[in-house]
């Protein structure tokens, strides 16, 4: 490849190791987060996680691995749990996105948040928002019928300080209260 081809790039297209224009192309993207619609100028490659944290100050959702391996970034999209680091914001236009900030009703915590407090299911707390969102997604899926299944279906959410059994206790309690498993 000639020197010219190695250093020249099309506007907005980056090439590894080559300095490009500092202006990123953006489009206006409308996202419905926690019941509120927001229009944001975002580069098309912005992940939902970065849109939440960097463009909307919704820092409750955490960035752990940024590679879909830890679950810290879990949010709900139309009631289903997803890793927000693995989806682009633009792909979520028109969907109902719920983050940890959207679970409480005013001063009243979501029952799972209360159960996490009651069972001391958080330690450093970094993974807790993702654990809680994931647990709500798990309950919406309706597949877990036992503590073992709760454990298995929560296995995509890592907690490095090992609050796992307390987390299962908290989820188990809420599911029992709702009559969702034996
Ligand atoms: S930050 Fe998304 S799975 Fe780890
Ligand atoms: S609460 Fe600390 S890593 Fe999960």
In this structure, the strands spanning 74-77 and 36-42 are: unpaired
DSSP string for residues in 63-99: -SSSSSSS-TTEEEETTEEEEGGGSBGGGGTTSEEE-
Mean pLDDT score, 4-16: 38
Atom in ligand 1 nearest the alpha carbon of residue 86? 2
Q: Looking at residue 129, what is its pLDDT? A: 97
Sheet strands side by side (includes 96-98): 36-42, 27-33, 96-98, 74-77, 80-83
Task: Report the predicted TM-score, pTM, of the whole model to 2 decimal places.
Answer: 0.87
> Is 174 within 8 Å of 115 (Cβ atoms)?
yes
- Please tell me the number of the ligand nearest to residue 122's CA: 2
Mean pLDDT score, 53-81: 98
Taking only the tens place, the pLDDT of each residue in 106-162 is 999 999 999 999 999 998 889 999 999 999 999 999 999 999 999 999 999 999 989
Pocket test for ligand 2, best of 70, 128, 129, 166 (most atoms within 8 A of CB): 128
124: left (phi over 0), alpha (psi -120 to 50) or beta: alpha
Confidence of residue 1 (pLDDT cuts 50, 70, 90): very low
Residue 24, pLDDT above cutoff 90: no
- For helices 111-118 and 164-177, angle between their N-to-C axes, nearest 10 degrees: 130
Residue 103, pLDDT above cutoff 60: yes
Bridge partners (DSSP) listed for residue 59: none
Q: Residue 61: which of 79, 75, 51 has the closest Cα?
A: 75
Residue 10, pLDDT above cutoff 50: no
55: its two tokens: 């463009």
> Is 161 within 8 Å of 123 (Cβ atoms)?
yes
Helices (H), the chain: 3-7, 48-50, 111-118, 128-141, 147-153, 164-177
- For helices 164-177 and 128-141, angle between their N-to-C axes, nearest 10 degrees: 40
Confidence of residue 180 (pLDDT cuts 50, 70, 90): confident
Pocket test for ligand 2, best of 65, 126, 167 (most atoms within 8 A of CB): 126
């Amino acid at each position: 490849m000639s020197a010219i081809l190695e250093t020249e790039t099309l506007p907005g297209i980056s090439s590894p190791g080559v300095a490009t224009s500092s202006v990123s192309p953006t489009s206006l993207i409308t996202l419905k987060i926690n019941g509120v619609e927001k229009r944001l100028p975002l580069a098309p490659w912005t992940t939902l996680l970065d849109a939440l944290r960097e463009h909307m100050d919704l820092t409750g959702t955490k960035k752990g691995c940024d590679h879909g391996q830890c679950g810290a970034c879990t949010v709900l999209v139309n009631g289903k749990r997803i890793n927000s680091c693995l989806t682009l914001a633009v792909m979520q236009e028109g969907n109902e996105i719920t983050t940890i900030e959207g679970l409480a009703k005013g001063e009243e915590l979501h029952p799972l948040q209360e159960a996490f407090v009651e069972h001391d299911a958080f330690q450093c707390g970094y993974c807790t928002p993702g654990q809680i969102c994931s647990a709500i997604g798990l309950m919406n899926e309706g597949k877990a019928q036992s503590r073992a299944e709760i454990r298995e279906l929560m296995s995509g959410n890592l907690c490095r300080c090992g609050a796992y059994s307390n987390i299962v206790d908290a989820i188990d309690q809420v599911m029992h209260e709702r009559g969702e498993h034996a």
